[in-house]
Amino acid sequence: MAVRKILIAIALTFMTLFLVLPLIIVFSEALSAGIGTYFNALVDPNVADAIYLTLVIAAVAVPANLVFGIMASWCIAKFDFAGRNVLITLIDLPFSISPVIAGLLEVLLFGLNGLFGGWLSDHNIQIIFALPGMILATTFVTFPFVAREIIPLAQEQGNDEEEAAVTLGAGGLQIFFRVSLPKLRWGLFYGVLLCNARAMGEFGAVSVVSGKIFGQTDTLSLAVESLYESYEIQAAFAVASLLAGLALLTLVLKAGLEWRHRDEIHAVRRKRSS
Amino acid sequence: MSTEIEIAGIVRRFGPHTVLNDVNLSVRPGELLALLGPSGSGKTTLLRLIAGLDQPDAGTISIDRADALGRKPKERGVGFVFQHYALFRHMTVFENIAFSLRIRKAAKPEVKARVEELLKLIQLETLAGRYPAQLSGGQRQRVALARALASQPRVLLLDEPFGALDAVVRRDLRRWLRQLHEEMNITTLFVTHDQEEAFDLADRVVIMNAGKICQEGTPIEIYRTPANAFVHEFLGESNVLPAAVRDGVVYADAGFVIGGAAAAADGKVTAYIRPHHVLPLASPSGAWRVLRIAATGSHARISLGLAELTIEAAMTADALLDSGLESDAAVDVSFSGGTVFDTDGTRPVKLLAARSIVTGPVQASLHV
């Protein structure tokens, strides 16, 4: 009993110290100069641009990774092919590589002096220090989130239900949309939530490829840094509070959906464990 | 009108393994046919080929005299019940059963009526809103059956339908399925490795081994006249006795007469005898010894020894009481039936009962 209490106490202290306390500080600092100043900081055109840019990047990166993730899990779970294990390892690459390196690699490929830099500038296409580069970097870094979540699920669920659907008269697309996709939907949902949270908060890779042109290629997380560095502490925390709010919203969304569909989730989980 | 299936020359290979090797089978209209065999005998593969889940390397399958192989699964009119049910885990019982109707874009009231009819049939009306994981094994099994029946298939295929259920549920469900078959009269094939299940349920049983059909017939035909040693052993416990035939008499190598087999040619054979065809008789002068008696409820098993040889006898517990047998008693043994096969397990000849007489070592004189 004593051990249990001690462990719980340690866990709670840890959580408070590293999760709750910072969250409180972010919001209290953001609101330290009053609610009016807080909103003024957020409607600043540069910050508004950063919000917009963050949303655009997430709006491209998340669906792209959703599609990639589904395709990858489909390949890996349904087929046995040469290079399957290589593919599984490659999917994990963005996790094991530092985001800064990822950004750097992109500069080396698409930058002005990079591998494709000459061709790109000849054709007037700008990737580095522009939106396409930031989208690419974010997509790369957040790639594993959806795939990692659903590959084990798809492997474990196997092909039985798809075969049953075949005998019941379903065609390829019908099977995909009525059976394969729905039975993965909770995995997909968690994957997308995590992917989105990370896409909006990504700093390292985006920082390298963005060029940090304030008001032009600033995302929310980059704006926090540039505001902080220019001693606009309160504004920096106001923007940070948006990101923190996003994290909280993600959690609430997840908990809410889990609660609404608790019967089904419970049923599916029990089946998985049996 | 019920559907017939004609299977001819089917070959299926997986890499170097030939899983089905020249299989020919006619399934008669409206019959309930069991494919019985050990695991790896190719019975499930055959079922999958009929359903269109797999394609053969050679051979033809026709359903109602029309080629089936060229047609997609959905055009074959086949309902399939999977071994582990393969229910859609994200759908309720109702939606699982409705699946094939929704795929066919049936009108809503029609779907509702049909699903309710099937729910009534499987006696699960109250569980329509449940998810598969919230059902017991027997209930899942019935939902899988209802789902397969929803679009009124011409043929019903069941892969190990009772494999994952406990004994009581299994027996109940078996009776229920038999009854259902009699009501609907739909041509049905089911795969099983359980001999009792096949014999209890099927009109006709097809025994498969190593990708081939060993024998087909009614349960009684197969049990009484097994086509080869494999079938005899697969259908239940056998005492396997190396023996030799001379002038129509079967002599066990261990030195006793097993019985008569007039139709068998002289030479080495193997005799297969069911435990209940072994009749021990208490006799102070008997050469056999009772090694062990195990009474298991209504039946008893008796191990009998003669020198190095041990054979098993079985009788009802009542018969054991009447016989007065006890451990270590001296007994005589006779055989009321059995089958003699050539040493390669083919060419069966029925044994005729003959009281066993210990003859001493006879095989020496038989070696040609």
**pLDDT per residue as tens digits for the range A154-188:** 888 888 899 999 999 998 899 999 998 998 888 89
Q: What's the rounded mean pLDDT across residues B144-166?
A: 89
Q: CB contact, 8 Å: B167 with chain A?
A: no
Judge residue B261's burial from the number of C-beta atoms within 10 Å of its C-beta, 0-12 exposed, 13-18 middle, 19 or more buried: buried
CA A193 – CA A186 distance, rounded (Å): 11
| Residue the block writes with tokens 């066919």 | B104
For residues B274-303, one letter each, b for 16 or more C-beta atoms within 10 angstroms of the residue's C-beta and e for the rest, the string is bbbbbbbeeeeebbbbbeebeeeeebbbbb
Judge residue A73's burial from the number of C-beta atoms within 10 Å of its C-beta, 0-12 exposed, 13-18 middle, 19 or more buried: buried
CA A73 – CA A67 distance, rounded (Å): 10
Higher pLDDT, A209 or A264: A209
A182·B90 Cβ contact <8 A: yes
Provide the 8-state DSSP code for A216. Answer: T
What pLDDT is recorded for position A207?
Answer: 87
pLDDT in tens, B47-91: 999 999 999 999 999 999 889 998 988 889 999 999 889 999 989
User: Chain A contacts of B134, Cβ < 8 Å?
Assistant: 267, 270
* Residue A273 CB-half CA count within 13 A: 6
CB B226 within 8 A of CB B238: no
Q: How confident is the model at residue B354 (pLDDT cuts 50, 70, 90)?
A: low
A169·B151 Cβ contact <8 A: yes
B86·A160 Cβ contact <8 A: yes
Average pLDDT of every residue of chain B: 88
CA B160 – CA B157 distance, rounded (Å): 10
Closest Cα partner for B235 from B243, B227, B245?
Answer: B227
Residue B148 pLDDT > 70: yes
User: Chain A contacts of B100, Cβ < 8 Å?
Assistant: 168-169
Q: Give the ipTM.
A: 0.79
Residue A214 pLDDT > 80: no
Q: What's the rounded mean pLDDT across residues A74-103?
A: 86
**Cα distance from B54 to chain A (closest Cα, Å)?**
10
Tell me the pairing of strands B32-36 and B187-192.
parallel
Q: What's the rounded mean pLDDT across residues A241-266?
A: 82
What pLDDT is recorded for position A269?
Answer: 58
Q: How confident is the model at residue B287 (pLDDT cuts 50, 70, 90)?
A: confident
Angle ∠(A103,A109,A113) on CA atoms, nearest 5: 110
Residue B293 pLDDT > 70: yes
Nearby residues of B245 by Cβ (< 8 Å), 6 or more positions away: B251, B261, B264, B265, B266, B267, B269, B340
Q: What's the rounded mean pLDDT across residues A124-148?
A: 88
pLDDT in tens, B182-213: 888 899 999 999 888 899 899 999 999 999 99
**Biggest alpha carbon–alpha carbon distance for chain A:** 71
**Cα distance from A131 to chain B (closest Cα, Å)?**
39
What pLDDT is recorded for position A248?
Answer: 87
> Considering only A102-106, A191-195, A215-219, B256-260, which range has the smallest mean pLDDT?
A215-219
Nearby residues of B20 by Cβ (< 8 Å), 6 or more positions away: B10, B11, B12, B42, B45, B46, B49, B56, B211
A169·B80 Cβ contact <8 A: no
Residue B135 pLDDT > 70: yes
CA B74 – CA B80 distance, rounded (Å): 11
Q: CB contact, 8 Å: B44 with chain A?
A: no
B103·A169 Cβ contact <8 A: yes
Q: How confident is the model at residue B362 (pLDDT cuts 50, 70, 90)?
A: very low
Higher pLDDT, B7 or A262: B7
User: Chain A contacts of B103, Cβ < 8 Å?
Assistant: 168-170, 174, 178
Could you give the percent of chain A with pLDDT greater than 70?
95
Q: Which of B52, B103, B150 sits opposite A170 (nearest CB)?
A: B103
Judge residue B179's burial from the number of C-beta atoms within 10 Å of its C-beta, 0-12 exposed, 13-18 middle, 19 or more buried: exposed
Chain A residue with CA closest to B151: the answer is A168
Could you give the percent of chain B with pLDDT greater than 90?
50
pLDDT in tens, A15-59: 999 888 988 999 898 888 888 888 888 888 888 888 899 999 999
Q: How confident is the model at residue B364 (pLDDT cuts 50, 70, 90)?
A: very low
B51·A167 Cβ contact <8 A: yes
Average pLDDT of every residue of chain A: 86
CA A47 – CA A35 distance, rounded (Å): 17
Q: How confident is the model at residue A264 (pLDDT cuts 50, 70, 90)?
A: low
Q: CB contact, 8 Å: B104 with chain A?
A: yes
Q: CB contact, 8 Å: B191 with chain A?
A: no
Higher pLDDT, A262 or B171: B171
Tokens of B250: 């079967």
Chain B residue with CA closest to A180: the answer is B88
What pLDDT is recorded for position A272?
Answer: 47
Q: CB contact, 8 Å: A181 with chain B?
A: no
pLDDT in tens, B256-286: 888 888 777 888 999 999 999 998 988 888 8
Residue B231 pLDDT > 60: yes
**Sheet strands side by side (includes B204-209):** B78-81, B155-159, B187-192, B32-36, B204-209, B212-217
- The model carries a pTM of 0.79
Q: How far is CA B325 from CA B274, B285, B289, B329, in A?
A: 19, 14, 10, 7
Chain A residue with CA closest to B87: the answer is A161
What pLDDT is recorded for position B207?
Answer: 94
**Cα distance from B135 to chain A (closest Cα, Å)?**
10
Q: CB contact, 8 Å: A123 with chain B?
A: no
CA A91 – CA A100 distance, rounded (Å): 18
Mutant choice from B50, B89, B118, B147 vs A, greatest count of A C-beta within 10 A: B89
Q: How confident is the model at residue A204 (pLDDT cuts 50, 70, 90)?
A: confident
User: Chain B contacts of A268, Cβ < 8 Å?
Assistant: 89-90, 131, 133
Q: How confident is the model at residue B367 (pLDDT cuts 50, 70, 90)?
A: very low
